[in-house]
Structure 1
């Protein structure tokens, strides 16, 4: 019984910590709204434009909570399968994976400075003036 209670407590604790890692998708001004299917296509290389204009998507580094959450909710792959997916696509000449930037600050700066740029950051890093296009 004690083991079961410990397990339940652990699951609840992990679940509440995970819930605090909400992410937001930000884009360069000019991109006003994105939906989940479009983001899936962009982050898997099956689309390279938004509204007829070139798009450049960026990722957080592997293993970060924001990347894990984004891949799970939007792309519907875990980090390992996502890396494997891009390894195969690159090998057969079907594209290169999105650029990886190290911090939320780098993602914000890149998105603000690059026309067509799209990225995601933890909601806690959201600053006034950022163009939020989706809250998955």
Structure 2
């Protein structure tokens, strides 16, 4: 009985971690409107540089768990495919990849202080006053 109980608690813990791992929040500079998944995808792949008449600047995090969750959720890609995508786009002269920052705090600061900026953070990093444009 104790073994079954341990197994149940272990599975419950993993399921809670999995549910938590899906909470990537897209934040934008104040004034940016809500965005759907397709628009976020177009921004982070360089296919949209303007939304509702506002020039947008995408900000990426350096490679890591949160970036992996973002890429999977919004672009349906892994990091290697995303890097390869931008390598080709840069080579053929179709743009440069989004600037990369090291932490959620840097993303928040950049987005709040740069008109048209958009980035992503973990839901745990969400603070009052941030403009959430997509969940």
Alignment TM-score > 0.5, same fold? yes
Query: Counterpart of 1:119 in 2: which secondary structure?
Result: strand
**Deviation for aligned residue 1:53:** 1.5
Structure 1 segment 47-126 matched on structure 2, within 5 A: 47-62=48-63, 64-126=64-126
Separation in 1, partners of 2:89, 2:15: 34
Instruction: Measure the CA separation in 2 of the matches of 1:72 and 1:48.
Output: 21
Unaligned segments of structure 2, at least 5 residues: 1-8
Figure out how many residues of one structure are paired with residues of the other and give that number.
Answer: 126
Q: In 2, distance between residues paired with 1:76 and 1:60?
A: 17
Of residues 9-18 and 28-37 in structure 1, the stretch that sits farther from structure 2 once superposed is: 9-18
Q: CA deviation at 1:12?
A: 7.1
Name segments (4+ residues, structure 1) moved above 4 Å: 9-15
Greater mean deviation of Cα atoms: 95-104 or 65-74: 65-74
Aligned to 1:4: none
Q: CA deviation at 1:15?
A: 4.9
1:133 is paired with a residue whose SS is strand
What is the CA RMSD across the aligned residues, in angstroms?
1.7
Deviation at 1:121, TM superposition (A): 0.1
Match of 1:5 in 2: none
Instruction: Kindly state the Cα deviation for residue 59 of structure 1 after the two structures are TM-superposed.
Output: 0.6
2 CA distance for matches of 1:67 and 1:87?
18
Deviations 1:1-49 (A, max 9, x none): xxxxxxxx98876554232231110000110210111111111011101
Calculate the TM-score normalised by the size of structure 2: 0.87
Which residue is equivalent to 2:4?
Answer: none
